[in-house]
Amino acid sequence: MSVTEQLATFVTNSRTTDIPPQIYAEAKRAIINYMGCAIGGANEPALDNALDVLLPFTGKATSHVLGRSETCDPLYASLFNGIGSHVHEYDDTIPKNYIHPSIPVASALFAYASANQGSDQAVTGEEFLQAFILGFDIESRIGNAVYPSHYEAGWHITSTTGVFGAAAAIGKLLKLDTKQMVWAFGLAATQAAGIREMFGSMAKSFQPGRAAQNGYTAALLAKNNFTAGEKALEGPRGFATITATEYDLDKAVDQLGEHYELLDNAYKPYACGLVVHPTIDACSQIREMHNIDPATVERIDLRVAPLVLDLCNHKDLKRALQSKYSIYHAAAIGLARGKGGLREFTDEAVADPVLSDLRSRTNAVADESITDDQADVTLTLKSGESIHFFLEASLGNMDRPLSNAQLDDKFIDQATLVLPQAQVDALLAATWEISSCEDVGSIVDLAVHKGD
């Protein structure tokens, strides 16, 4: 069998009982992280703008958009969910292939579940999680095959592989047979797009959203026997050879059905550039261990990896965006607030006199002996007392995954920007209980903004 056929067969033949409980547990964590991001990004200008333009073109409004009051058809809901959940770039990442995996797959699945709520095609939590796990797996496996040359060339690997993941997930719910799944992958390959040249603009979050929408469309067409080339991945003019100067399709099927890619997923603890994460983490730990009052701080001395100062040597902050790439702000929020959520990188946070004072007291030097994943902090108090802390490995890495409680905090921190606390609590609880949910459309109901 070709690689395309092997992956299609894997998805169509998979039974819910084939997947170990550990994978379902990790899938729930990914869904919690996804849902928090989707709600947290729901009021961002990129999503407002896309809704403004495209809602007039939506079909029958059967699907809610996460964190919004608008409804639309599930294809557009997939797009809008994708924009909102990716816009803060606070979503999950697979460190080995740089894919933000949950966006394209979960965005399509929640749209599908909402559109089919209360119908014969209503999606149970078990079906949802299975489709999510399989879509995630397909997407990441295809990424493994073409990474790194595909990514380094400039492809936005989250959208180019995400369209396959969304097609697999929706295709599983639509009960495609294997031939149809092969066509769905062909129709995904037909639409695989998204380039890193768009980073820094609204088009960036559009890309994984469009991947969700296009993968969903691919599955619908395949279900109706709309034919496509049957060698989407390995063909001489297929996805791998066209988009990667070097690739290894064996990686796409390595330990297929034995190893699940969800085990390689990581959740971002802080809503900012990765290189300042160790400093936030170290300062947060000092704060917690020593119960620091910011008013007692005389100075903060950082030793950081040279890359950190190359990218983040901004002390005099003018705009919110700059705070995401300031090593001084990182130290300040860690010490004063013990976290780095969305609220720590706003204009208000930049103007906060406590944070401003701490930034001015922070000094940073580059040290080649410090890795990108480490930080060395020496805190000097006005009393003369000195506290030293060396962080060996940063929170959110594969070796130090966020705990479920930390995922809860991250969820609440984001979702309360958009939804009332009581609704946030109910949504969080319902999302953790997704395994036993009889109709996932009911979870989407809890994610709807009810208006002011």
Q: Please give the C-alpha separations between residue 403 and each of 269, 395, 409, 412, in angstroms, as whole numbers.
A: 10, 10, 10, 14
Per CB under 8 A, which region of 45-53, 383-391, 397-405, 417-425 contacts a second copy?
Answer: 45-53
Interface residue with a second copy among 86, 88, 223, 324 (CB under 8 A) is 223
d(CA 360, CA 110): 45
Strand duo 297-304 + 63-64: pairing: unpaired
- Residue 158 CB, shortest distance to a second copy, in Å, is 13
Are 398 and 268 a contacting pair, CB within 8 Å?
A: no
Instruction: Dump the DSSP string for 410-443.
Output: HHHHHHTTTS-HHHHHHHHHHHHTGGG-S-THHH
Nearer to a second copy, 245 or 346 (CB): 245
Binding-site member from 16, 49, 296, 404 for a second copy (CB under 8 A): 49
Q: How far is the CB of 203 from a second copy (least distance, A)?
A: 4
Neighbours of 404 (CB within 10 A): 13
Q: Is 17 in the site for a second copy (CB under 8 A)?
A: no
**What is the distance, to the nearest Å, from the Cα of residue 415 to the centroid of all Cα atoms in its chain?**
15
Which residue of 225, 360, 386, 403 would you call a contact of a second copy, by CB under 8 A?
225
* Residue numbers 174-213 binding a second copy by CB under 8 A: 183, 186-187, 189-203, 206-207, 210
Please, which residue, 32 or 115, has the CB nearer to a second copy?
Answer: 115
Smaller CB separation from a second copy, 86 or 329:
86
Identity of the residue, 193 or 274, whose beta carbon is nearer to a second copy in the bound complex? 193
Binding pattern for the stretch 238-277 against a second copy, x by CB under 8 A and - elsewhere:
xx-xx-----------------------------------
- One of 154, 296, 347, 404 touching a second copy (CB under 8 A): 154
Helices (H), 43-124: 45-54, 74-86, 102-115
Q: Which x/- pattern, by CB under 8 A, does the window 418-437 give for a second copy?
A: --------------------
**Considering just the CA atoms, what is the radius of gyration of the chain in Å?**
22
As measured in angstroms, the least distance from the Cβ of 144 to a second copy is 20
Interaction of residue 60 with a second copy, rule CB under 8 A: yes
Could you tell me the smallest distance in angstroms from the CB atom of residue 313 to a second copy? 23
**Closest distance between a second copy and the C-beta of residue 71, in Å?**
13
CA distance to 57, 73, 103, 153, 198, per residue, from 54 (Å):
5, 11, 20, 31, 20
> What's the gap between Cα 235 and its chain centre?
30
- Helices 202-223/102-115 angle, 10° precision: 60
Which residue from 59, 95, 306, 420 is in contact with a second copy, where contact means CB under 8 A? Answer: 59
The span from the CA of 56 to the CA of 127, in Å, is 32
Least distance in Å: CB of 280 to a second copy?
A: 29
Place of tokens 């001489």: 236
- How far apart CA 41 and CA 297 sit, in angstroms, is 34
> What residue ranges bind a second copy (CB under 8 A)?
46, 49-50, 52-54, 56-60, 73-75, 153-155, 183, 186-187, 189-203, 206-207, 210, 217, 220-221, 223-232, 235-239, 241-242
